[in-house]
Chains A and B, each alone.
Chain A
Amino acid sequence: MSNAIIPLLLDSLASAALIFFAAVGLTLVFSVLRVLNVAHGSLYSIGGYAAASACLFIASQQLNPYLSFAALLLSAVFVAAIFGPLIERSLVRWTYGKSEAVQILITFGLFLILEDLQRLIFGVQSLYEDAPMRLLGTSSIGGVVYLNYQILLVGMAVLVVVGLRLLINHTRLGRLFTAVVTDREMAQSIGIDTNRIFILAFSLGVFLAALGGALSTPTSGIAPGLGADTMVLAFAVAAIGGLGQIEGAAVASLIVGLARVLAIYLAPSLDAVAPYAAMLVVLLIRPYGLFGSVTARRI
């Protein structure tokens, strides 16, 4: 088993990166809007479909394959630009200040609509385009061949954590987010356009969800049903980290990634329950999650 320690750690990091991308958008939206967006998983898979379609178009037109990296990013921007303002203005804004049950019912309805919409547009077969994965090649580490794309994803996850922290702490937009999170009414009374902040925050959440879906596509393709699985895992990670806590989501992703990988290496039959067992243990000890608190919420 000693020869498996390096692969185990690397797999944990790679797995955590993918899990983090699935969860960070959900936690960001909750921190600013205080809305638990059940349709988050669908937005993740729409990002995947958009990226796969763009990469397939590049391949079919025999364009420079390196354009597929740009396509991954731009497809997430495209999805966020379309769906972010549309969903926030048409549905989510009606749920502000309402009970969690109303929020969950409305976003769950949206989830069902988006899932069927994807099926109508993209059909039931899987879509694949793995050019970004192939272009980066492989590396042998600890006797195991890894995709360099997996390592890139770890780097991207770190970049997103650092980028979000910089955005929130060192930009005007971040300070506006913080003001709205701290006291919505006070922010409104001093002239902050909270409607605009909500649109921007929700669209940023959609972008992160779509980016997660787009980045996962080169290795795992995209198929119907991905949205529901992603949603459940994202909730578990958000709960472990503390709802609304970005660094919490990062640490929770590491915990869940490590739990899953340990299960696969040591007790494969526990693979499916490992993330939820980790959630149970954390919530028993810290009911508000690792970084959550009862009184004050921070981004």
Chain B
Amino acid sequence: MAFKNISLAFARCLSSLQPRFRLNWELPHANLRVVVDGLAGALVIGVVAATPVAAQDKPNSVGLGVFTFTSGPAAAYGMPGKNAADLVIDEINAKGGIGGVPVTATFVDEAQGAQGVIAEYRRLAGDTKNQVMVAALSSATCLALAPIAEQLEVPTVGWNCDTHQLLMDGKSKYVFRPNGNTVPEFIAYAIYLLDRKPDVKTVAIINPDYAFGHDAAKIFTAALKALKPDIEIVAELYPKLGSPNYQTEISRLTTARPDVVFSNLWGADLENFVRQATPRGLFTSSQVVLALGETVLQRVPLPDGVIVGVLGDGWWMSPDAEANPETVKFAEAYKSRFGEYPVFPSIKMANALIYVKAAYDAAMQKNGGKWPTRAELAAAMKGSKVATLTGITQTRADNDGLVDQIVGVTVKTSAQPFPVIGDMVRYKGDSLMPQAGQDPLAWISTLKPEFAKSLPKPGSYKIGER
């Protein structure tokens, strides 16, 4: 035990020496970082290999490192994820845990930045109790953690991780994403928009100024141009993530007079944008598409007819969700504990934890009921097909997930005091994904209008019709 602690402390010290190498040595920083990370990783792997879990003893508890934003503007998206994790873990434990072992979670705040998150990941990975990491929300965090997960051989489940760049090389062994990604998510919006508004000519985009915003704009634009080549992008705005004020951007969008305004703003940014744009008439002068609009339905009075979706199938009121007693129970329990119904980040987190539990169950079934190793858990995730609260998540050979995409428009109903999603469509997950290893943008450019015609139409996803 003492050796383990000393090794871990030494590994951490090595990592902390990185900046000094850059100052004092005349070697490229990147090379040194690889060396130092390698040494630190080797030490942690050595420690892990020498501990009881490698011998497959059943631990006292199953530890999960859960990475999300619990502070800052992004917490508006991250906290629903944490809430769902708390709820699902309590429910798993109430039913006896995983294989009879209770689950405990250690939450890591992604708002501390990449260096802090990486240090926390290494610390948690060094504790053999934590066999799986549920990481992370931000695409930037996921990209930073992926090589470390591979190096330390820790199964890491991206509960959000939207960027299509995460698993593009197809070589990942320990990083899994039981979700969709930016490619199917934003192609779905392009197809839905053109089905609903086929005469659209001009589009303006307002997305956050980082990879998620720029990737989404590229994919959405490429899909629109492929399916309707005469579409013109009349404005592209990328306000800083966390901007409180969008008044100038709203004026700029209004003066461009676009048929459509597309946005994947999220969290507090999205709430601010909607609150500021609504009284200024943007929602009446243009067809607005809010890719993450579902997250604000219960908080902001969105007008009717706004195209919204859930970046996947995680809509708690979808026909599939309402037909699943477990989902109904989850939604009611969430509402009673946290005061509002689960938005799609909550569902994504819940589904990710269901996916982790399924991997444990499958791995133990395969090895005759013994406690699984990290490698056995990763093997159980590969190629798996898991029933979630809102559908099925299928893991491909490249560890990327196939999840259906639900898109619709805001409508008022007598059932809820806030707008809900109506006129829905549910696109099959595999229909909007390129093959593993294929360049997504090159694949999108090959799409033809006939492709869109072959897909289900708005309004086709109703109770009893799937």
Contacts and interface: CB of A to CB of B under 8 A. Distances in A.
A18 interface: yes
Contact of A224 (B75, B254, B279, B281): B75
A126 interface: yes
B245 A225 contact: no
A223 B266 CA distance: 14
A73 interface: no
Contacts of B73: 126, 223-225
19 contacts: A3-B255, A7-B251, A14-B248, A15-B245, A15-B248, A126-B268, A126-B271, A128-B275, A144-B255, A145-B280, A216-B244, A219-B275, A221-B271, A223-B76, A260-B248, A264-B237, A264-B249, A268-B238, A271-B209
Most buried by B among A128, A134, A222: A128
A130 to B, nearest CB: 6
Contacts of A143: 254-255
Contact of A11 (B237, B248, B268, B281): B248
B240 A221 contact: no
B435 interface: no
A221 B248 CA distance: 16
Contact of A264 (B70, B252, B279, B280): B252
Interface in A227-270: 229, 260-261, 264-265, 268-269
Interface of A: 3-4, 7-8, 10-11, 14-15, 18, 119, 124-126, 128, 130, 133-134, 138, 143-147, 150, 216, 219-226, 229, 260-261, 264-265, 268-269, 271-272
Interface residues of B, number: 32
A220 B281 CA distance: 17
Contacts of A145: 254, 279-281
B280 A124 contact: no
Contact of B242 (A11, A119, A133, A229): A229
A219 B276 contact: yes
Contacts of A221: 244, 268, 271-272, 275
Contacts of A18: 245
A13 to B, nearest CB: 11
B72 A11 contact: no
Contact of B79 (A8, A124, A146, A147): A124
Interface of B: 70-73, 75-76, 79, 209, 235-240, 242, 244-245, 247-249, 251-252, 254-255, 268, 271-272, 275-276, 279-281
B279 A147 contact: yes
A14 B70 CA distance: 33
Contacts of B72: 124, 224-225
Nearest to B240: A272
B248 A261 contact: yes
B79 A125 contact: yes
B70 A124 contact: yes
Given A128-B271, A145-B254, A133 B279 contact: yes
Contacts of B71: 119, 124, 224
B277 to A, nearest CB: 10
Most buried by B among A10, A133, A265: A265
B244 A4 contact: no
B207 to A, nearest CB: 11
Most buried by B among A8, A15, A221: A221
A46 to B, nearest CB: 15
A268 B236 contact: yes
A261 B245 CA distance: 12
Given A11-B251, A219-B245, A224-B71, A125 B76 contact: yes
A223 B237 CA distance: 22
B237 A124 contact: no
Contact of B268 (A119, A223, A260): A223
A269 B217 CA distance: 14
A126 B243 CA distance: 13
Contact of B272 (A3, A138, A146, A220): A220
Contact of B238 (A219, A223, A269): A269
B247 to A, nearest CB: 6
A263 B251 CA distance: 13
A130 B109 CA distance: 30
Most buried by A among B244, B252, B255: B244
Contacts of A130: 275
Shortest beta-carbon contacts, A-B, top 6 = A124-B75, A220-B244, A126-B268, A223-B268, A11-B248, A145-B281
A138 B280 contact: yes
A111 B195 CA distance: 51
Contacts of B239: 271
B212 to A, nearest CB: 16
Nearest to B205: A268
Given A221-B268, A268-B238, A125 B247 contact: no
A198 B242 CA distance: 35
Contacts of B272: 126, 220-221
Nearest to B242: A225
